[in-house]
Structure 1
Amino acid sequence: MIFAAIADIHGNCAALEAVLSDIGKLGITDIVNLGDCFSGPLEAGRTADILVGQNIPTVRGNHDRALIDRPFENMGDWEKPAHAQLSTAHLAWLQAMPFDMVFKDVAYCCHGSPKGDLEYWLERLSPEGILSLRPLKEIEALAEGIKQPLMLCGHTHIARTVHLSDGRLIVNPGSVGCPGWKDDEPVYHQVEAGHPLASYAVLEETAHGWQVYFRQVRYDHVAMGELARANGMSQLGNAIATGWLD
């Protein structure tokens, strides 16, 4: 069995198209999407047309939830420009998303962690604002009760595999469309991929267990960075164009 995992597209339709083309060239037909599909200053509507049209199994991310759980006037800077591009059908698709799911009996899927869409499963945040790998015992505690050999999450945009003591894997495929971000809560912290490529993962079942392949795909990231800047989000534009916020 082989399938692809994508996450954190954030309305970057050009990056999504490049990733889907790459997946197609590999001959892979099964894809799972780990959420945060549309929010941001890019092309939410076009991204939604693709995702809804392809019927890719998808779990709801925190930014997806923020597009449907509050009035427009209470939405944040990432949601307002995206919401304006989404149709009633797109919003209905978001409403129907589950918080988590099991993909083809082999992979438990969520956006953040099994406990919440804002929680970092594989990383923890220090009081100084540094994201680092969680201790294994903490990661495994969050996996308690999950039986599948694979667990997939997104949210941090950090491509990472963690091998549990029982041999199972937790995989974050990285971000398709947003290689850098920052947050002020609960303390200021940021992530920068250091490259502008669209990231995803391929999961393949082998005689020795599940194999993870991280793939990074080129696309016209400069144009998408310029679009973000033109729509008033200069640091995000920098991240999309270069992989760095500044």
Structure 2
Amino acid sequence: MSVTKNEQTLNILTHTTVRNPNITANDFVLILYLKYMIWKLNNKYILEVSSDDMKRWTGLSDKMLKKSLSNLFAQNYLLNEVGKRTPNKPILLTINKESFDSENRREGEYFSSMPIKLLYALKDGKLNPKEVRFLYYLKSYINVKNTSKLFCYAGIDTRMKNELHMSKPTIIELHSELKKKKLISVTQHKWGTNYEYDDNDKLIHKRFNNHYFIEFENIDKL
């Protein structure tokens, strides 16, 4: 389960964006679209884009787009506030390079890389914003350099709820939908033990987190 070397990918900053609880799933896919536009325009950080184009690629409604643009300005992804939008007139966006640039990132920051096909699948209605965000989130916990641990093991209660700012039922539903689409597989773990004992000679039981695997070969088929 690996991304092919020749495949185009979009790199999104891990702590700044992928695991940022202040960024909603709608915000995330808008960031993904802007990252794509930056790449498409040879790393330009001042963009002219249309509302219709943003909505077409992200699946966001006009109201959702307005809210996400406002939040991206508040969270310092955009350096200019978007005011009233005029139909058929491009929007000028000044991008904060520090929030997008995965090559010259600050010390201690990493990036999560996924196939650009996720963005195309979003545009085609095959995936929704929460599913795209969740796939990137799982990838952010997978160390591709360690071939024996090509899975995410973040716990729902300990990490996912807080870092994604999603409820447990929502996360469980995402698991189910992505499994149906064969984009992830899950190895479930319940109570177990490493056969360690406490000071009273009682066997210590621990709850081991599920292991989440991304099925990259099926992402290629989207």
The question of a shared fold, defined as TM-score above 0.5 by the shorter chain, is answered with no
Structure of larger gyration radius: 2
Q: Which has the higher contact order (CA 8 A, sep 6+)?
A: 2
Structure holding more helix per residue: 2
Give the structure with the larger strand fraction: 1
Normalising by structure 1, report the TM-score. Answer: 0.29
